[in-house]
């Protein structure tokens, strides 16, 4: 059977300055714009419209030469059967609901602007907020007139916070994209529930994104409203900005473990040297309220309760 | 010099149900039919009939995205010189004697049917039953009129249970294949000895396998008799079955550490979607006797002494 | 943009005998002549003379199938921009000063002859003697009439012994190559300073290398003088020899932690089976003086204070 194997990856390195609680940190760090990775993937044509595929992809950090020591292929490890019916995918990978967040976060949940920096697990200790182990996923076929979606079950195998069900449905036509995702994960005899609704419209002079995420765990609740924009300023350069407002309910506010009130602002600029190589700079700032202590990515210093955390980076990313 | 480098691998994911001691487990797991792996290998033509080759191959688990954290290239890491004289191979890899077991186990020592699940180390603590470190191997050339074989020494480097000597000799002609292997490993001032004799004949309507393994450690002894069959039922599908009877001698029976009496039955079905992609299902069952407590693969629950362990899986494997 | 991705590596396995303090060790080991590695690298042409490149390279040990468990890509992980101005490289890699030592050590700091076996860290505990994390490097362009060089800064990120500055300048013309490197690393409120000056001339019947390294940490100091030669004896074979004399000053001599007086002699022979595959044998011997206790590579047994360590290996290396 005809087949192909592709080696691929990303190296993203950034010089970053962060500050929290009066202390600043200077780092050569990673993943300011895209997550660094190394991967191998392939597709085999089985005939009759059927295909088999595999995907192995793991994280790496070029500043120290490390890979993920516990999960070398931790970003995705899967085998798929694809056909007119869509795709059935087995292994480890992103949950369907996270894909909604990725799609409507201007910074695709990466770097200083990663919107999930102000998302709260509400003390649930779940392990499915981004990727999940033991995932059985079904993706709708791509020819449904703009409708797309996927649904997944993660086998918990008796480990707390790993058993989940989720799905997303979306509609993409021309410059419009809207989608919603919902996921529920078992934890401590309760359920952690994530609802994410997103939409974007590309007006050409500006592409606008909006995202609402509601997180619940028992009586605890957090809402995160996000609005973002991407403005092409030259043929190769674009300016981005995003603002999020996160607020937990009174029950969650009362405990330092679960409090999650914050405002989060990010602005960035990316200059493409080619389709595969870009220079970028990003600045972000989190202002916590109450007992919340969110901080921007790779800020080694904890924010004070109700305090601030901010960062600025300049980096380069290269895909292969 | 002309040369080639090949990227290769297998992803095998299975949904599996196992039961032992009254408790059942449901998992998305791996390696129901083939061991998942990622590898790179190559051959260089040195001229004059001489070739150099390398092989790097490591295990992975697609259900969790993990690789082997301590031995990334733990399945095989070797450099070879090959010529009319055969092959000299240095590094880590399968011992010659294990290759006999692989060849005459219908399930190639993989998944629920893996025959070595009822093999006993007899308390020897050796580390050479499958692969060995520091291996110097010699393979006979391939043009000896059907005779094949290999011989190996593993340097112990002062670590208990790692110094071994072994070899195998076989004869393969048309539908017939017979081979014998013998290995001895130093452990605690004694020797762990493995003798494996195997044969297969392909009658076309059925391929029959037989395997006898005798394991000895001091006064302790285990015999494992195995008979298996593969029946092609359609152009793409085949049914497999295998039965093993393992029995330790009285000295070994007396201790829970070394007792090894059991019966082991496996049946399976594999449907090939192509040469590289297949769906399969396997069911296996171990009935221990006396103090033995063998269990089928990935059964997280220990079998009771003299108790049962069983499993059923449905999976997909894809090679690239 | 036009681009290329290359998979590459080295497998080097050797049988080695070492002796120190009256005890001998026999091993199947690695890296007698070249460091075993697995890597992926690529270059993208960005147009207008500008290029982007990446490089991922990690160590492996074929005798045990291990990779570097903590830094899979620990030999080099970097992204580069290259042009008429030279190259700016970000990530982890060799420091500029170490490149001088590599170039003028007949054994390129590898195997039994590795000159740095008698280099002393003088109790500084620095982590930049070979490679450094968080490295920002600038390489001069290659068209400067024989002048070459590179300069680097490693961000310490608050970790002792990791913040460094260094550079090298060299001149290569015809059979002559000379270079000097200097690096300073912060450690415990003091600085570890390395100066290395090297030169080589290829007289064809013999290529002669000379290298002087001076290491300083506070009032502690070590000088290491090295002279080496490579003699081509046949079209495919060459004999090598190298002698080093290391001596610490009185302050360093007084403590077992910092004492570093030794003589170090290595002889070797390499026979190339092709450009990519070679057989080799090496013998080396270290004679310590005073409280020094250097030992040859992979000698598991510590040398006695002022005692001897020696080794002999026979190996094969294969590049792909």
Please tell me the distance from the alpha carbon of residue A178 to that of residue A203, in angstroms, as a whole number: 15
- What ipTM score was computed for the predicted complex, to two decimals? 0.95
How many CA atoms lie within 13 Å of B63's alpha carbon, on the beta-carbon side?
23
Mark residue A85 as left, alpha or beta (left: phi above 0; alpha: psi -120 to 50; beta: remaining).
alpha
The residue in chain A having the minimum alpha-carbon distance to the alpha carbon of residue B14 is: A90
Min CA distance, C72 vs chain A (Å)? 5
Chain A residues close to C91, C-beta within 8 Å: 11, 13, 62-63, 65
Q: What is the CA radius of gyration of chain A?
A: 20
Tokens 């087949």 sit on residue? A3
Structure confidence at residue A3 as a pLDDT band (50, 70, 90): low
Could A92 and B27 be called an inter-chain contact, meaning their C-beta atoms sit closer than 8 Å?
no
Residue C54, chain A, CB below 8 Å: the answer is yes
Distance CA B134, CA C13 (A): 9
Per-residue pLDDT at B3: 67
Q: Which two tokens stand for residue B82?
A: 């090959």
User: Measuring CA to CA, which residue among C285, C287, C243, C242 is closest to residue C261?
Assistant: C287
Alpha-carbon span A114 to A111, nearest angstrom: 5
DSSP symbols for C54-113: EEEEEEEETTTTEE-SS-TT-SEEEEEEEETTEEEEEEEEE-HHHHHHHHHSTTTT-GGG
User: Is some CB atom of chain C closer than 8 A to the CB atom of A13?
Assistant: yes
Q: What is the C-alpha separation between A160 and A126, in angstroms, rounded?
A: 7
Contact B64 A53 (CB under 8 A): no
The half-sphere exposure of A131 on its side-chain side, counting CA atoms within 13 A, is 20
What are phi and psi for residue A272, nearest 5 degrees? -85, 120
What number of residues does chain B have? 320
Indicate if the pLDDT at residue C210 is higher than 80.
Answer: yes
Which pLDDT score, from 0 to 100, does residue A261 have? 98
**pLDDT tens digits for range B189-203:** 999 999 999 999 999
* pLDDT, tens only, A192-248: 999 999 999 999 999 999 999 999 999 999 999 999 999 999 999 999 999 999 999
Interval A87-115: pLDDT, tens? 999 999 999 999 999 999 999 999 999 99
Question: Which residues of chain B does A133 touch, with a Cβ-Cβ cutoff of 8 Å?
Answer: 28, 63-65
Most C CBs within 10 A among A23, A65, A71, hence the mutation to make, goes to A65
| Token pair belonging to A180 | 């919603």
Q: CA A76 to CA A197: how far, in whole Å?
A: 24
What is the three-class DSSP state of A77? strand
Tokens of C238: 């060459």
Among residues A102, A104, A107, the alpha carbon closest in space to that of A199 is found at A104
Domain spans of chain C?
A: 3-319
Rounded to the nearest 5°, which phi and psi values hold at B112?
-60, -25
Per the model's pLDDT, the better-predicted residue between A139 and B301 turns out to be A139
Determine the distance from the C-alpha atom of residue B230 to the mean position of all C-alpha atoms in its chain, rounded to a whole number. 17
Smallest CA-to-CA distance from C129 within C151, C112, C109 is with: C109
- In this prediction, residue C299 carries a pLDDT of 82
**Quick one: DSSP state of residue B115?**
G
pLDDT digit string, tens, across residues C110-127: 999 999 999 999 999 999
How far apart (Å, rounded) are the C-alpha atoms in residues B162 and B159? 6
- Paired tokens of C79: 């992204």
Q: Say how many CA atoms lie within 13 Å of A10 toward its Cβ.
A: 21
Give the side-chain half-sphere CA count within 13 A for C155.
Answer: 17
Q: Which residues of chain C from 154 to 183 reach within 8 Å of chain A, CB to CB?
A: 155, 157-158
Of B25, B65, B277, the CB nearest to A44: B277
What is the tens place of the pLDDT at every residue in B28-87? 999 999 999 999 999 999 999 999 999 999 999 999 999 999 999 999 999 999 999 999
Kindly state the DSSP code that residue A187 receives in the 8-state scheme: E
Q: How far apart are CA A143 and CA A141, in angstroms?
A: 6
Q: Which CATH architecture has domain A3-319?
A: Beta Barrel (2.40)
């Amino acid at each position: 059977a005809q087949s192909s194997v592709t080696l691929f990856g990303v190296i993203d390195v950034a010089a970053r300055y962060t500050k929290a609680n009066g202390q600043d940190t200077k780092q050569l760090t990673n993943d300011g714009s895209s997550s660094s990775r190394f991967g191998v993937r392939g597709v085999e044509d089985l005939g009759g419209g059927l295909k088999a595929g595999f995907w192995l992809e793991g994280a790496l950090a070029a500043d120290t030469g490390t890979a993920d020591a516990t999960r070398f292929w931790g970003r995705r490890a899967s085998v798929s059967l694809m056909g007119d019916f869509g795709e059935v995918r087995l292994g480890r990978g992103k949950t369907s609901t996270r894909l909604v967040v990725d799609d409507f976060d201007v910074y695709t949940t990466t770097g200083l602007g990663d919107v999930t920096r102000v998302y709260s697990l509400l003390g649930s200790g779940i392990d499915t907020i981004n990727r999940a182990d033991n995932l059985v996923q079904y993706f709708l076929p791509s020819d449904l007139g703009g409708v797309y979606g996927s649904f997944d079950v993660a086998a918990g195998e008796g480990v707390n916070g790993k058993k989940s069900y989720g799905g997303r449905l979306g509609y993409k036509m021309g410059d419009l994209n809207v989608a919603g995702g919902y996921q529920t994960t078992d934890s401590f005899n309760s359920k952690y529930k994530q609802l994410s609704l997103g939409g974007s419209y590309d007006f050409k002079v500006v592409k606008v994104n909006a995202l609402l995420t509601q997180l619940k765990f028992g009586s605890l609740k957090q809402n995160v409203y996000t609005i973002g924009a991407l403005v092409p300023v030259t043929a190769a350069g674009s300016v981005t900005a995003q603002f999020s407002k996160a607020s937990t309910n009174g029950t969650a506010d009362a405990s330092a473990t679960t409090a999650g009130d914050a405002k989060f602002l990010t602005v960035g600029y990316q200059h493409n040297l080619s389709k595969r190589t870009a220079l970028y700079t990003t600045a972000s700032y989190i202002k916590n309220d109450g007992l919340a202590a969110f901080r921007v990515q790779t800020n080694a210093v904890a924010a004070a309760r109700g305090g601030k955390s901010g960062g600025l980076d300049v980096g380069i990313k290269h895909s292969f």
